[in-house]
Amino acid sequence: MGAEHTSVPRWGTERPAPDPSARALLLVGFGARGCAITTAWAADVPAGRAVEVLAADDADEAVLAVLTARIAGARVGWRLMLAGPEADVLAARAVALRAGVLDAEIRCAVTSTERKRVYCPHCRTTTATTAPVAGETPCDGCGRRLHVYAHVSRRAGAYLGFMADAEEVA
């Protein structure tokens, strides 16, 4: 099932540069490839700007709590740059957006789109999977077979799943 219109981000193939108007930047890298990008970004930041680099294996609760704390202390001119696998970048981006960070204040570099987070509207669980868009995965919460739909929730930072056999007669 393809979607003519989709909210799935189209990640650029080129690494975005740090915002030259930024006064302070938080660079968050997930995994080795994401951390390599944040190292390059840190080198590209103009002199005199405050830069903090966070390195993590993935966007777990502890890392997202640190991100939330850094956002709470942000001031005018603060920017967020995220690099790593799509699942981690989307999770961190969702936390930032919910905390009031604007799209224009966030730049992302995605190193891989293989891993996905899929939100189940039936039980409200988010499942990690490598299923492709239009593929299926079992929900970690309720066990339903979920179709991975071509829609990414900005709020949840996850793809939408729906019951794959919802229209089948029981």
In this predicted model, what pLDDT tens digit does every residue of 1-49 receive, in sequence order? Answer: 455 667 888 898 889 999 999 999 999 999 999 999 999 999 999 999 9
Tokens of 137: 């995965």
Mean pLDDT of 129-149: 97
Counted domains in the chain: 2
Q: Would you state the pLDDT for residue 84?
A: 98
121 and 108 fall within a common domain = no
pTM for this predicted structure = 0.92
Domain that includes residue 43, residue range: 24-112
In this predicted model, what pLDDT tens digit does every residue of 66-102 receive, in sequence order? Answer: 999 999 999 999 999 999 999 999 999 999 999 999 9
Q: Would you state the pLDDT for residue 167?
A: 75
157 and 82 fall within a common domain = no
Q: Would you state the pLDDT for residue 1?
A: 47
Helix (H) or strand (E) holding 107: strand 106-112
Q: Is residue 84 part of a domain?
A: yes
Q: Is residue 128 part of a domain?
A: yes
99 and 86 fall within a common domain = yes
Q: Is residue 7 part of a domain?
A: no
Q: Is residue 1 part of a domain?
A: no
Q: Is residue 70 part of a domain?
A: yes
Q: Is residue 4 part of a domain?
A: no
Q: Is residue 83 part of a domain?
A: yes
91 and 130 fall within a common domain = no
Q: What type of residue is 138?
A: P
Q: Which of 13-17, 124-128, 134-138 has the lowest mean pLDDT?
A: 13-17
Mean pLDDT of 151-167: 92
46 and 108 fall within a common domain = yes
Q: What type of residue is 27?
A: L
| Contact status, residue 99 vs residue 78, Cβ threshold 8 Å | no
Q: Would you state the pLDDT for residue 168?
A: 74
Q: What type of residue is 104?
A: A
Q: Would you state the pLDDT for residue 74?
A: 96
95 and 150 fall within a common domain = no
77 and 93 fall within a common domain = yes
